[in-house]
Chains A and B, each alone.
Chain A
Amino acid sequence: AQKITQTQPGMFVQEKEAVTLDCTYDTSDPSYGLFWYKQPSSGEMIFLIYQGSYDQQNATEGRYSLNFQKARKSANLVISASQLGDSAMYFCAMSPTGFQKLVFGTGTRLLVSP
C-alpha cells in the first residue's frame, strides 16, 4: 500500500521568504508520480507541480520546486519568495503505477505574514 506523510500540520513564513513543506512517502511500486496541490480557503484543489520517480532532475514550476530525494523517499515542496496569496493548505500526493488514483497526505497549512 502507498502512504504519504506530512509531519508539519502548520507552517509560518514571512512574505518574500522561502519555505519548505515536508513530504515523505512509502511505496513498493517501481515507478510512481508525486504531486503537490494547493487548497485555498475557498476549497478548490489547484495542481502545483509533478515529479516522476524516474525523473533525473527536480521539477520546477515558477516559484515552486520539488526537492526529490528518492533514496530517502522524500518529495519536499519549496516555495520561493512567498506571497500573501500562498496562504493555504498544501497536500502532497502520490500515484502508484498506472495513475489510477491519488493517495494524499494530511496536508500542511501555510500562513504567510506581511
Chain B
Amino acid sequence: DSGVTQTPKHLITATGQRVTLRCSPRSGDLSVYWYQQSLDQGLQFLIQYYNGEERAKGNILERFSAQQFPDLHSELNLSSLELGDSALYFCASAAGIGSFELNNEQFFGPGTRLTVL
C-alpha cells in the first residue's frame, strides 16, 4: 500500500459526460501528479500541483482540469468525454517539488479505470 488513495476505482460513463476523479496523497506529501495510461499513448504525465498551486503541465487536454485543495487532496475533472479518454488515471504524490538529494520518488495510487461508452 503506497498510502495514496484514489476514488472511484472504476468509472463507466457515456460520451459527452463529465466526471471527477479524486486523489488523497500520502500524509505529508505536498506534490500531486496526475498521469494517464492508455493502450495507444502509454503512460503520460498530465499535470502537477504543489501545495495548492499548479507547477507543471504535460499533455493535458483543454477538456481536462485539475485542482489541489487546502487539505492537499486533488481532483481531476474530465469533461465532454470521448471514447479515446478511456484509460487508467493515476495520481502520484511526492514529498516536495523535487530535490535529488532527497530522492524524491513518486508514490502511485491504485488508479481509476475510466471507461467511456
Give B residues with C-beta under 8 Å from A.
2, 33, 35, 42-45, 48, 55-56, 58, 88, 90, 92, 94, 96-100, 103-111, 113
Contacts and interface: CB of A to CB of B under 8 A. Distances in A.
Contact of A44 (B33, B43, B44, B110): B110
Q: Name the 7 nearest CB pairs between A and B, nearest first.
A: A99-B98, A45-B108, A101-B45, A100-B56, A104-B43, A98-B98, A44-B110
Interface of A: 31, 33, 35, 37, 43-47, 50, 52-54, 91, 93, 95, 98-104, 106-107
Contacts of A100: 48, 55-56, 97-98
Highest count of chain B CB atoms <10 Å: which of A31, A35, A45, A54? A45
B33 A102 contact: yes
B31 to A, nearest CB: 8
Nearest to A42: B110
Pick the most buried of B43, B103, B111: most chain A CB atoms within 10 A of its CB: B43
Contacts of B92: 45, 102
